[in-house]
Amino acid sequence: MSAAPVRLLPGAKRRLLDASPSAEEPWYINDHTLIRAADGIWHVFGIWHPEPADPLGEDRFLHATAADLEGAPWTVHDPVLHARPEIGETHVWAPHVIAHEDLYWMFYAGGTADHTAYRMTVATSADLFTWTPHEPALFTDGFDARDPMVLRDGQRWLLYYTRTSAPDGGFHEVAVRTSEDLLTWSEPVVAYRSTASGTVGGPTESPFVIRAGERWVLFVCDSDQYDRTLACCSS
């Protein structure tokens, strides 16, 4: 018997937050992550940079909070986790935050001048305001390996991210690594490979995986059509 199809119904778009300092100084937010703290307050983190877009100049993460997601006002706090030029970071991309063992864990990509060896990094915090990056980096990969997403599967953790089939370019892929402690990660396995090839961008941006019944669904963003999301199923 075949499994029932997974039906996805997009809802209406609503603007929740504009973190621009003023109407005359617009800033954009990209690749954001949301987490609800133990006290019920929502925290959002994301790439934060003045318009126009400048991916290689994105050197900090927005941090803002709200009591709920249904219209409560947002408070914008000091940015967190600036790029660290002293270790070769030129920009920071795509934070993803989870809670585990009384700590919050933020996974993100630290970009360097070497696009074939981007650093996947984790920082921890007890309060979502003060973050401490862990060294060394979890691993390096290319081309522009980025967009980490972490979830728990039984006793192990899975980390999905975007990369290419060779560090200097190739087929756009979503790779996955496993860990038991969030710090030591396995070698990568290819979860999804596109027929498209290249270096930057591609149709495997921002992978995100959810459980749907007895199957898993992988969502990816297609950078060639930036408002298009692709969904792939796995048993």
Q: Write out pLDDT tens, residues 75-113.
A: 999 999 999 999 999 999 999 999 999 999 999 999 999
Would residue 101 count as lying in a domain?
A: yes
Would residue 19 count as lying in a domain?
A: no
Mean pLDDT of the chain: 94
Would residue 97 count as lying in a domain?
A: yes
Would residue 15 count as lying in a domain?
A: no
Would residue 60 count as lying in a domain?
A: yes
* Phi-psi category of residue 90: left, alpha or beta, with phi > 0 → left and psi -120 to 50 → alpha: alpha
- Is the pLDDT at 7 greater than 90, yes or no? no
Q: What is the pLDDT of residues 118-147, one digit of tens each?
A: 999 999 999 999 999 999 999 999 999 999
Specify whether the CB–CB gap between 188 and 167 falls below 8 A. Answer: no
Strand 146-153 with 156-164, pairing:
antiparallel
Residue ranges making up the domain that contains 157: 27-234
Would residue 88 count as lying in a domain?
A: yes
CATH number for the domain including 151?
Answer: 2.115.10.20
DSSP code for 30? E
- Sign for the pseudo-dihedral over CA of 30, 33, 34, 38: negative
Give Cα 79 to chain centroid, integer Å. Answer: 17
Would residue 83 count as lying in a domain?
A: yes
Would residue 216 count as lying in a domain?
A: yes
Domain count, the chain: 1
